[in-house]
Chain A
Amino acid sequence: MPETAAQLKMQRETRISHGQAPHTLGSEPLAPMCWQLRGEEFLLRGEGDHYFYYRKGDGIMIERGADLDLSEESLWLNGSVYAAVASINGLLPIHASAVAYADKVFAFAGPAGAGKSTLVAALGNCGLPMFCDDTLVLDLSSPEQIICLPGHKRLKLTAEALSLTAASREERVSQTVEKFYAQPPAGHIRRVLPLAELIFLEDGPTSAFIPITGGERLTRMQDDHETAFLFAAARQFAPAEQFGHLTRLAKQIKMSRFVRPRTGSSFQEVVALAAKHVTDAGRD
């Protein structure tokens, strides 16, 4: 059940209907696999004639073309469409997977392939439930703290990650994505929680958590993932407003780097160190 105004808003704004969607928000036709965002409207075209149209207050309209792969539809809906709806409604989606401990969220950020989902799944074996996979939506409406909305996506893992984490394998994600849905070993957390720490995953020869301080905290928030582009397109901040936004995040979010080797032989040791970091920090 939704607990907060932000959750209620997302539940309301992501309701789905089917029908004919506009095919452009401008004068030029929208190419496949592209999106447009204008004010309070968002339009995404998937493969072929598969359109997703959102207008604030009206929810999401899906127009399905011929030869549709429904497994792809859920990926679009839970990916770019959800992030766009969140952004248009003042929420901040960031590219991160997270676990919960002691009623706080510990999020792991990094580019695609950095190992976010694998680490979150493996931390389930240490008793840490998953909070979200791939996208973490932040509610910035309270000046005192940053609140995280529980994840809306199912955990997706590669065959190798399933083998490393022993997470229970479910169906394949889609024909085009070589990943499988999986159940996180310690289950999901479904309630809003404050953000405790944002941890950036990096490769390196030895495992260590290194605090991020000073100006680097601000530059780290300049993500180059599509979620950041959607937020920027939705908010249309002037440079000074963007600076104020980033400054707030930099000052309120504790950040660190988690440098670790990516070899299979070191995996359990790396996971144990991450679990210790989260549980130690959670007790503070």
Chain B
Amino acid sequence: MTAIRKALDQFVETDIDDEVIIMRRDTGKLLTLPGTAAAIWRLIDGKRDRNAVIGALADAFEIEQAAIEPDVDEFLLQLRETGLLADG
């Protein structure tokens, strides 16, 4: 599997309280990631692939990998469609 990488030139981000706030550089549009979405985003470090992200998330929340796979895949797809993940 290929490591998942953020499209770092497309956005700026910050943490406020326990949420991640992302702003697209081209549109200025804001995206707020609360809870688990913020946790997934923080696990995307350019080294982990899809399975490693799911594994680390399952460990962090002490749940079965199979239970979270569909939601993680959907979220990763949304991030890719929004242009926040690099191709590849």
Contact = CB atoms under 8 A, between A and B. Distances in A.
B partners with A: yes
B19 A214 contact: yes
A251 interface: yes
Interface residues of B, number: 16
Interface in A196-235: 213-219
Contacts of A240: 12, 23, 25
Interface in B8-62: 12, 14, 16-19, 21, 23-28, 30, 32, 34
A80 interface: no
* Majority secondary structure of chain A interface residues (helix, strand, loop or mixed): helix
Q: How large is the interface on A (under 10, 10 to 19, 20 to 34, 35 or more residues)?
A: 10 to 19
B18 A242 contact: no
Given A213-B17, A240-B25, A243-B23, A218 B30 contact: yes
Given A219-B30, A242-B28, A251 B16 contact: yes
A214 B18 contact: yes
Nearest to A217: B16
A247 B27 CA distance: 17
A250 B15 CA distance: 10
Top 10 nearest A-B pairs by Cβ distance?
A215-B32, A214-B19, A215-B21, A243-B23, A239-B28, A247-B14, A214-B17, A213-B17, A215-B19, A243-B12
28 contacts: A213-B17, A214-B16, A214-B17, A214-B18, A214-B19, A214-B21, A214-B32, A214-B34, A215-B19, A215-B21, A215-B30, A215-B34, A216-B32, A217-B17, A218-B14, A218-B16, A218-B21, A218-B30, A239-B25, A239-B26, A240-B12, A240-B25, A243-B14, A243-B23, A247-B16, A247-B21, A250-B16, A251-B16
Interface of A: 213-219, 239-240, 242-244, 247, 250-251
Given A215-B32, A239-B26, 18 more contacts: A214-B17, A214-B21, A215-B16, A215-B19, A217-B16, A218-B14, A219-B32, A239-B23, A239-B24, A239-B27, A239-B28, A240-B12, A240-B23, A243-B14, A243-B23, A244-B12, A247-B14, A250-B16
